[in-house]
Amino acid sequence: MVLLGIAFWTGSDLLTKKILGFSYRTLDKLQADTLPQVELTLNFTVVDMKVEKEQKFTQVKIKTANSLLKRLEIEIPNSKFPEVAIAQKFGLYPQQQELMLNQQIQVKIPVTLKVIKAEIEKKQGLSFIEVRTANNTLRKLDFVLPVTEINMVEAMTAKLLNLSPEEVRKLIRYQVQNQSWLKPKIKKAAKTEII
């Protein structure tokens, strides 16, 4: 038993030295995935706005119309005049003190994208796209696209976000709804009688 242990120890020691003696190629440059940064041009009409004060910031949810963009969420530091801060974030201040309902907004915002979630509703013929950002202010954008084919969803998302299709594929995560072929089929057991 002792001889077997010594043989195993010696063999593993020699094997370890041999493996560690190999040279490995290292990359000349550090390769890291970076989040894509884009400048979004948003053109929408304000339909509804909800301002919720939290402990450290104020969260603003804006529902929109007349575009593929249906909702956006921003976070601003707490202040006595959140309406002015919102107008500042959209670059409307000092010409305008606050956003008004049914107001047409056209703004360019630099955005760092984190993830894109796509929920495809085949029965409705729509795709719901949620874009999460790493920005301090603009946190989330919700789009509704009138397509359900994955290549069309990716192409339209790329166009909306000023990205290449490859960048969209890296960021997008899918969830497909109302697909009967995705649901497991339950097989009915045949009745057998014992005589």
| 73-108 pLDDT per residue, tens | 999 888 888 888 888 888 777 787 788 888 888 888
Question: Does residue 187 form part of some domain?
Answer: no
Is pLDDT at 30 greater than 60 in this prediction? no
Question: Does residue 50 form part of some domain?
Answer: yes
Q: Note the pTM of the prediction, 2 decimals.
A: 0.70
Question: Does residue 25 form part of some domain?
Answer: no
Contact indicator for 97, 87 with CB cutoff of 8 Å = yes
Q: What is the three-class DSSP state of 165? A: helix
Per-residue model confidence as pLDDT tens digits over 138-169: 899 999 999 999 999 999 999 999 999 999 99
Q: What is the mean pLDDT of residues 57-63?
A: 91
End-to-end CA distance of the chain: 60
Question: Does residue 13 form part of some domain?
Answer: no
Residue 85 CA to residue 92 CA, distance in Å, equals: 10
The rounded mean pLDDT for the chain is: 82
Is pLDDT at 36 greater than 80 in this prediction? yes
The pLDDT of residue 47 is 92
Query: Is the dihedral angle over the CA atoms 53, 58, 59, 63 positive or is it negative?
Result: positive
Question: Does residue 27 form part of some domain?
Answer: no
How many separate domains does the chain show? 1
List the domain range (segments joined by +) for residue 131: 37-178
Question: Does residue 17 form part of some domain?
Answer: no
Question: Does residue 11 form part of some domain?
Answer: no
Question: Does residue 133 form part of some domain?
Answer: yes
